[in-house]
Chain A
């Protein structure tokens, strides 16, 4: 078996006395679309933040393509090919939509901290950015300040920024949160399109999205994964039914 794209082992995180993540072992293969679901407060976003080094884990390791990420800064992890989006929209609001994408392209195109290239002159860079804008259907909004976009458009832009760098592991944190049905469909299609051939890890509440997208699903409850497997297996899992789906249904009504 080849090295998994992302491998978590014994991952734990405590804030003071509160143990939020209580030992997670998870292995996600290459080009797999993996969804993490679970009730509110289960620790999904915390798990994301642990993987991307936004928080330091209390114990355990995160391996990307077999390489231990311990002690690395977020930007170093990103350079290794892991990119993420955020639950709360996290874009550059004062810059134009085009600029948002272009910034996301700079590092992977090898520009690094250069101050001898004028970005406007790099035609290939602009073409790439426009191609991504086309992919996320924001070409028409190209020169607007990103902060003035609608919510769904901003979420789309966020996904665009996340994938632009060409990372092969993409992590999306609730990409459809707070969206209407039509917007959700639009985003789901978009995710489908842009993560073709890449490893996708997403946290999501909308079961429609989850079951439509994911190859495999993990269920996180109180900082522990109680089930991992194919969508239909998880759906049928009694533990999951009891711990999560029931609660979720109750919540909805």
Chain B
């Protein structure tokens, strides 16, 4: 993809690629307004719950990206920092006197501090080197803590976990956080604060050096910085924000269990972050939103959601290593050149048939699944608001034809799209 960038280097678009993002307040203001308005549009509790889940994942994914994207450290056990922070918050919730004197909104801060505390200890030996050694230590430590969660019942509550009641906290300006909406605003406030802090972190000397150490630890050492200390600071900061997300989890779900610590959760956050794109600050945010929707909403629609999620993930790694954020930012040069309009028609011609073709393919997969695993006599299935008999030949022909034609058209028009893309990203000519 890079070779298609032929823009003038002095243009701001390039500045964005090189430096991350240029600072403007506009995206933040839009985000704040949107987060304020969303509950007015989606008032039901489940939408609020799902948005809260997104928010928690956003903080966790951003914290994870402080390691992976900014620091070049691949962790296979980061869930434990969020989990341990959350468990401590839950214990605080259960300390009735102390908790009754504390306003709930500051609870995540404690989660952060305990997450950071654990990171201080583990980081002391794990950040000595990056790469495989770091990855494997994180895997080992993650497994150990996850395994001890079922053994050390006194702290982790065993398999059932521990639970509490957020409403026992001191009312915060009269708000007792009985309703999901109140919790939503608390979570949203923490998302904005944490995201802003993490963004600011990436602009500080140690945040910049994290990038330098990621790219070239040896060179950084010859600039007076110990690569190990830079990694350690990033790791500890990441542990803090992971802990904050754990604290928010405690407030939202009022229960923490082994799943908050286990390897599966650690793997998921890696997936989320990479899906969104590690190269841009806002990548993990997109990843968190998309993945939560896939996991929670798509799974209401099909049992095969994990199959689609896996395919989406593998396709992303193979074709768009920049993730979804990279996909979006690819268009910045064309927009800056004012030539993005050139892309609309080719996109329409290629992506629409491709999308239809892929949906056809999904329909085929769903039909195979239904044919093989559906109840006998229960031949009817509903797909895309259409009910039909999966044991007759016609729907198969239709779905197959849609898939073949859709993808066929997309293949035919793909060269045009490529030309248009090159044209849109080349300076000069009429725009």
Contacts and interface: CB of A to CB of B under 8 A. Distances in A.
Interface in A89-142: 90-96, 98-99, 102-104, 106-108, 111-120, 140-142
B375 interface: no
A59 B216 CA distance: 29
B365 interface: no
16 contacts: A75-B220, A75-B223, A78-B224, A90-B219, A91-B216, A91-B219, A92-B215, A92-B219, A95-B215, A103-B212, A104-B223, A106-B209, A111-B205, A115-B207, A143-B10, A148-B9
A54 to B, nearest CB: 8
Contacts of A74: 218, 221-222
B222 A141 contact: no
B15 A107 contact: no
A123 to B, nearest CB: 14
A75 B18 CA distance: 26
What is the predominant secondary structure among interface residues of chain B facing chain A?
Answer: helix
Contacts of B46: none
A93 B203 contact: no
B229 A165 contact: no
A85 to B, nearest CB: 9
Nearest to A121: B203
Contacts of A148: 9
Query: Shortest 7 CB-CB distances between A and B: which pairs?
Result: A107-B224, A96-B18, A111-B205, A92-B215, A143-B15, A74-B221, A78-B224
A75 B222 contact: yes
Given A93-B215, A94-B215, A96-B19, A113 B206 contact: yes
A233 interface: no
A199 interface: no
Contacts of B205: 106, 111-115, 117, 119
Between A52, A75, A78, the greatest number of chain B beta carbons within 10 A of the residue's beta carbon is seen for A75
A165 B230 contact: no
A106 B224 CA distance: 9
Nearest to A52: B222
B208 A165 contact: no
B61 interface: no
B399 to A, nearest CB: 44
Nearest to A82: B222
A148 B5 CA distance: 11
B14 interface: yes
Interface in B218-261: 218-227, 229-230, 233, 237
A245 interface: no
Given A102-B208, A120-B23, A143-B14, A107 B201 contact: no
What is the predominant secondary structure among interface residues of chain A facing chain B?
Answer: loop
B207 A75 contact: no
A138 B211 CA distance: 21
B212 A75 contact: no
A120 B218 CA distance: 25
A165 B221 contact: no
A95 B229 CA distance: 20
Nearest to B2: A148
B349 interface: no
Given A92-B212, A113-B229, A144 B223 contact: no
B17 interface: yes
A84 interface: yes
Given A73-B226, A108-B224, A118-B200, A141 B9 contact: yes
B321 to A, nearest CB: 13
B387 interface: no
B224 A120 contact: no
B14 A144 contact: yes
Contacts of A115: 201, 204-207, 233, 237
A197 B224 CA distance: 21
Interface string B1-33: 000000001100011011100010000000000
Between B208, B223, B230, B233, the greatest number of chain A beta carbons within 10 A of the residue's beta carbon is seen for B223
Nearest to B218: A90
B230 A113 contact: yes
B18 A78 contact: no
